[in-house]
Chains A and B, each alone.
Chain A
């Protein structure tokens, strides 16, 4: 029997969704197939330092931050091709070990990415793993980067016929020169002539930094608030009678499968960070990690009242978006439905969705349990890496010595 593979589950990271990533990681480590895999939690702290250690599996560890990092071992991924794993930095010497260092490398077979947002979902870490020739899950650099940039993503998908809402892009540096000029530019964009308008960061995954502008003063306020988080803001019309539906897609080059459709329920019309992750309606207080993060959101799975044609359109566009961008692993594609016109629009793609959308796959036909979903994602990653290794990277030293 072959040895169990070491799966490094990477999470945390320098992102506003740091905490949500911790929840996603702890959830998935819980259900990882231990007959095949040996999970190694790898936590990237807000400081950007990497740590391993069993204490990372306990929620109490995160309450003790930043001091708690003393209880775990610092490591680093050195991006040299052919990397065998994570390099131990400043090895901790136990009181009784008399200077003996346990190990210099933590061997890793596959890196499972469980980040959300900047540096983890946007192609940054993917680029580093490519440099190291490492096997990693999910999207490669380009789809990850495209998926993160809301504006460019819409442009690419609109080009293949997926409906999107009109959008304007505002640069922080231009806004700082003149807010009134920026306002004029926005109002001159087709589809954005009228308030209210929706303002959000162009490159941020979660709902942080978003706002609805109802008058010129609040438009200024929303823009400046968005610029606290991103150097580009994207402005969209505010759909009055708004509904949202999400679809998850799993797949790679060989084919894609879509999950059941969900409809998140918002109390205020716009899903805020608080509503997504912090809502506690008092009915039941559940500290069980299975029901935290995105899995905690109030939602209707496969909404019975929704027009089947819209449902099907969502599923078709979701698959098309996934393939157009060249995604792999699991993504969640979010759509907006204008209730008054019954028109569906692509809103955004999450190439590393909260809780990996496992809650959708549990309810899909055929049902996919979380452990199996993770197995598929890991197998795809291994297959992709196999293909990559067979590509030629060298042409010898011919040009230099011609």
Chain B
């Protein structure tokens, strides 16, 4: 009787210790999927992110213990050894809290989920194994086989813990939400909402930087654009003196912008683009348009709406939801009426010179920003500033000192060459513009490093192929990262006539970057465009 319980103790403790470490890696993905169990399950099943290492150890240990079943101490020894290998299998993996592009952030919420899931898992492991032993099936091979199933079930306990904690979490979130609403009602700033399939984060940063040069302005940092993210920023950082508040509004599904507009009722709105991003989440371009329309619809009739006239969807919105003041901006006045546009664009290594047209006046200017998408964002921000009554001359002066944001098509020195970092972009127009900027730069080899674009639904392969065709025209060397879009990109590059010897493949960005920085590979004046550096989820499959 005591032998089965000894083995049980060994098996249970090793499988729990395995979980303690391994669950962190699943939690990393769970966090990146924004604690959304549906999306997490989709990822888990789609990517077949099932355990292999732990299961293999369990299977082999079970097998060996069957072979030595006659020797009781033998089975104990085998199980002990197997348990140690199992623990080592998890604990020798990279720690997601320290390694990875988007590291696991041990927030209070995540820690609670983690700890509760360990408790649940331990109970289940000990419970099931004890039952089996009590009913007399406690032979080591059986215990190890059951263990295999338990190891595979890791994601389930994370989701269960999350579901159990949700009522308390929701209550906390509601309290924060009402606190943020109270602060807003008290301070009552003029709220400018920004949305768009792409360009909204950059436009927000540019607009914030321009307005702040004139008066105290609040804007949500980074790409924070969710209800809880905005709530936290308002609670912690909004100040009474800030009479203007710029809020980036992300559309994750139908109704998410409406929800944000109830939190921060906008007085003005800026729509950068209606595109094909996150097509999978919405189920059709029609729905994306409707989701973005929630911002202009939430504006008061006497409000201000500024739309990108170069983008058909955004232009349509100006027609469908007109406000007291509705303005169109862009770079292409030949597409239709524009209230504010940019012309005479000349790009150099230092930046871009241009003319801005606003209310019958031409304002010549200079910016360190590069590339058509960034200039379009700049025109949108300029139009908004002028519409808010700021002096165009002063805004033009402020434009000169806007710094390009990291990872959004900014040029930085890399030895005697340059890196054109566009790793946050992931839309087709931005991709092509980045390639165009790469084309205008003077220097050595023109190198593109990219994993391609994702979340484009059924057009994903075609768009990647299209971008690769353009890349073949401009680049001397293309480095493909991961396997998600490898086939589509390769086909575009081949058809564009780039010789196979000038295409390299790497499993992940770290390997690709290491190669690019390797002295043996480097050549004088290398110009490297890093395009769309994807979050870990979409890189070469994570092995568990």
Evaluate contact between A227 and B213: CB separation under 8 angstroms. yes
Evaluate contact between A179 and B394: CB separation under 8 angstroms. yes
A175 CB contacts on chain B under 8 angstroms: 394
Evaluate contact between B396 and A220: CB separation under 8 angstroms. yes
- A residues 204-224 near B (Cβ < 8 Å) are 217-218, 220-221, 223-224
Highest count of chain B CB atoms <10 Å: which of A217, A223, A224: A224
- B residues 385-426 near A (Cβ < 8 Å) are 391, 393-394, 396-401
B212 at interface (Cβ–Cβ under 8 A)? Answer: yes
A218 CB contacts on chain B under 8 angstroms: 400
Q: Which 6 A-B pairs have the closest CB atoms?
A: A221-B400, A220-B397, A225-B401, A224-B397, A224-B398, A221-B397
Min distance, Cβ A59 to any Cβ of chain B, angstroms: 18
Evaluate contact between B393 and A225: CB separation under 8 angstroms. no
B394 CB contacts on chain A under 8 angstroms: 175-176, 179, 220, 224
Known contacts A217-B364, A217-B366: A223-B397 contact under CB 8 Å: yes
A and B contact pairs by CB, cutoff 8 A, 6 listed: A179-B394, A217-B365, A220-B394, A220-B397, A221-B401, A223-B397
Min distance, Cβ A257 to any Cβ of chain B, angstroms: 41
Evaluate contact between A228 and B366: CB separation under 8 angstroms. no
Residue total for A at the interface (Cβ-Cβ under 8 A): 13
Min distance, Cβ A73 to any Cβ of chain B, angstroms: 21
Q: Which residues of A contact B (CB under 8 A)?
A: 175-176, 179-180, 217-218, 220-221, 223-225, 227-228
Residue total for B at the interface (Cβ-Cβ under 8 A): 15
Residue of A nearest to B210 (CB): A224
A179 to B391, CA, bound (A): 10
Evaluate contact between B364 and A224: CB separation under 8 angstroms. no
Known contacts A176-B214, A227-B213, A228-B212: A220-B401 contact under CB 8 Å: no
B400 CB contacts on chain A under 8 angstroms: 217-218, 220-221, 224-225
A179 to B365, CA, bound (A): 15
A225 CB contacts on chain B under 8 angstroms: 398, 400-401
Evaluate contact between B366 and A224: CB separation under 8 angstroms. no
A218 to B397, CA, bound (A): 8
Residue of A nearest to B415 (CB): A282
Contact of A228 among B365, B393, B399, B401 (CB under 8 A): B401
A113 to B393, CA, bound (A): 42
Residue of B nearest to A220 (CB): B397
A180 to B393, CA, bound (A): 9
A225 to B398, CA, bound (A): 7
Min distance, Cβ B280 to any Cβ of chain A, angstroms: 34
A171 to B364, CA, bound (A): 25
Evaluate contact between A228 and B397: CB separation under 8 angstroms. no
B365 CB contacts on chain A under 8 angstroms: 217
A223 to B214, CA, bound (A): 12
Known contacts A217-B364, A217-B366, A221-B401: A228-B396 contact under CB 8 Å: no
Min distance, Cβ A46 to any Cβ of chain B, angstroms: 13
Contact of B213 among A180, A217, A224 (CB under 8 A): A224
Residue of B nearest to A227 (CB): B213
A175 to B397, CA, bound (A): 11
- B residues 189-247 near A (Cβ < 8 Å) are 212-214
Min distance, Cβ A99 to any Cβ of chain B, angstroms: 22
